[in-house]
Chains A and B, each alone.
Chain A
Amino acid sequence: MNKSKVGLLYILPWLIGFVFLTAYPFLNALVTSFTDYNLIGSAHFVGIDNYISLFTKKDFIKTINNTFVYTLMTVPLQLAFSLIVAFILNFELKGIRFYRTAYYIPSILGGNVAVAVLWRFMFQQNGVVNFILGRFGIAPIGWFSRPAGAMTIIILLKIWQFGSSMLIFLAALKNVPKELYEAADVDGAKKFRQFFTITIPLITPTIFFNLVMQLNNAFQEFNGPYLVTGNGPLNATYMTSMFIYDNAFKYYRMGYASAASWVLFSIIVVITLVLFYTQDKWVFYSDEG
């Protein structure tokens, strides 16, 4: 059998769907980005005006800035955190299933109203966080009304909801053959070293996956700020995806929103491409010789 044809056959479902579920609306959005389409009336071609005005507007630049800060803060922290927790929850302890469930619950909650309300309670002026800080002699902080405070809140929220990447790491850790550990099974301290010498290299494809996904999620973050801080004081937590949403459905500037989407898209694509090129250096695939 000709191998090349078989591969295409397997990806055929995606290819068909791609054409009408993705390519068509994408091209539509690309065309729209060069028009002044506002949902009502007809669209006029405006060339690259939308793109020019994006880069001359403080608002948009600010959201790009915020998005970068947010991404740089959340991705490494969440990645490290979820990997460590997955490593711990991978031990065979009594009642571990309960703990594995508990640590995943924040991710099941997603945008539940409880999350929005409780995060407000925690960080408000007389909230839990200020109370604990007070114990260390730190005066109460207006978390929501200070730009850096609001950003901190949504960063912590993101890290708290680390369950999905933890789950993926857990599945990956289970794929690491036990024999490798048994060969070097020793007490306490060495377990930690094994983690770096045996575990990490074997799960680099999963680390890579989580890295790409988290970058993408962080760049397109919407829910966290939408739920808890909104635009934030002085637009401190105004993310590019919120800017796009507002322009599309609040101000009805679809052309503008589409242009902003393509700018965000290009940024993520470039960063992901760079990541894909670095793979050779640190990701070890077992299917390569």
Chain B
Amino acid sequence: MNTNNSAYEMRVDSMSTDNKRTMSRELRRQRSEEISKAIRYIILTVGAFIMIYPILWLIGGTFKDNSEIFTSISFIPSHIDFKAYADGWHTRTQYNFGKYYLNTFMYVIPKIFFTVASSTLVAYGFARFEFPFKKILFALFMSTLFLPQVVIRIPLYLMWKKFGLLDTYIPLIATSVFANEPFFVFMIIQFLRSTPTYLDEAATLDGCNSFQRLIFIILPVLKPTIVSCLIFQFIWSFNDFLGPLIYITSLAKYPVSLALKMSVDTSSGVVAWNQILAMSFIALLPAIILYFVAQKYFTEGIAASGVKG
């Protein structure tokens, strides 16, 4: 180590004696780069603070009394005590939050799986093939995005009732199974269309059929997009309140989003807000962790997938 270091220093020394002027310019450049880097970090940090402030406040709130929660913008509590977490986790129903977590994953995981699988298939169909009535079908497909969901809630509910599937997770999963969430499909279509087709064409010449092309050529390119679909679907279905509220009636099947709001009723007495904040913080963690971890997959991007532009 030592010898290495001194060797390095020596080299620097000899360089500097050789070429002092270049070196000082180099130093100045480095310093100005460092300053600009520092400025960049300061701006990023200030921005980040504004962005995460609500989470800090939420965490602070878990240690506060009701009156303190609603009268102070500061996130620093007057005392620290994890009782709200323990009480909130155990709940006062016959199930604890662990049960509600399990319930949530019972439909969130299939939902994510189906979203990725069927949205990719459908997007591939729309983006890479010509078929009769494609324009009309695509228009129909897009238009389903634009009708306010409020008015189709009751007809859908009555339909699921006819199928005898109320109080199951099926109504919550079905839209993903059938790729009826145009957001994901359209997103993948747009990404597909910004990838050149000559690779597929080359693969066709190599004798790949369309499905093989999808698996071996398209999927690797789509990886960042699919990861973002996964993140979105996780967050949205994990947070979805209205869907479960209408379709799920048994406490034993309640997901986290319902359990969180189950005791929020200020008209009926005192609501333990610190417990609700504690549980809603815990409910946010999986999404934050998932996002933090999954980032690796977009930072790799196309460069790592071996496809060159």
Contact = CB atoms under 8 A, between A and B. Distances in A.
B51 A102 contact: yes
Contact of B180 (A22, A167, A174, A206): A22
Contacts of A24: 155, 159
Contacts of B55: 105, 109, 114
B18 interface: no
A40 to B, nearest CB: 12
Contacts of B186: 209, 212-213
Contacts of B175: 17, 21
A228 interface: no
B217 interface: no
Nearest to A167: B228
Main secondary structure of the interface of B (DSSP, over half): helix
B196 A287 contact: yes
A219 B148 CA distance: 10
Given A101-B288, A177-B308, A206-B191, A171 B152 contact: no
A101 B292 contact: yes
Contacts of B235: 107-108, 110
B146 A268 contact: yes
Contacts of B177: 13, 17
Interface in A89-113: 93, 97-113
B262 to A, nearest CB: 14
B299 to A, nearest CB: 7
Interface string A145-157: 0000000000000
A265 B132 CA distance: 26
A140 to B, nearest CB: 16
Interface of A: 1, 3-11, 13-18, 20-22, 24-26, 28-29, 32, 39, 85, 88, 93, 97-115, 117-118, 121-122, 127-128, 160, 164, 167-168, 170-180, 188, 202-206, 208-209, 212-213, 216, 219-220, 241, 244-245, 248-249, 254, 257-258, 261-262, 264-265, 268-269, 272, 284-287
28 contacts: A4-B129, A6-B210, A7-B125, A8-B125, A11-B121, A13-B122, A13-B179, A14-B178, A26-B152, A29-B151, A29-B155, A93-B41, A104-B291, A105-B51, A105-B288, A109-B55, A112-B284, A113-B276, A168-B228, A174-B300, A175-B195, A205-B191, A209-B186, A261-B150, A269-B143, A272-B146, A285-B194, A286-B197
Question: Would you list the 10 A-B pairs with minimal beta carbon distance, nearest first?
Answer: A17-B178, A10-B125, A7-B129, A174-B301, A177-B309, A25-B152, A7-B131, A102-B48, A11-B125, A28-B155
Interface of B: 36-37, 40-41, 44, 47-48, 51-55, 57-58, 61, 69-70, 73, 118, 121-122, 124-132, 134, 137, 140-148, 150-156, 159, 174-175, 177-180, 183, 185-187, 190-197, 209-210, 221, 224-225, 227-228, 231-232, 235, 239, 276-277, 280, 284, 287-288, 291-292, 295, 298-303, 308-309
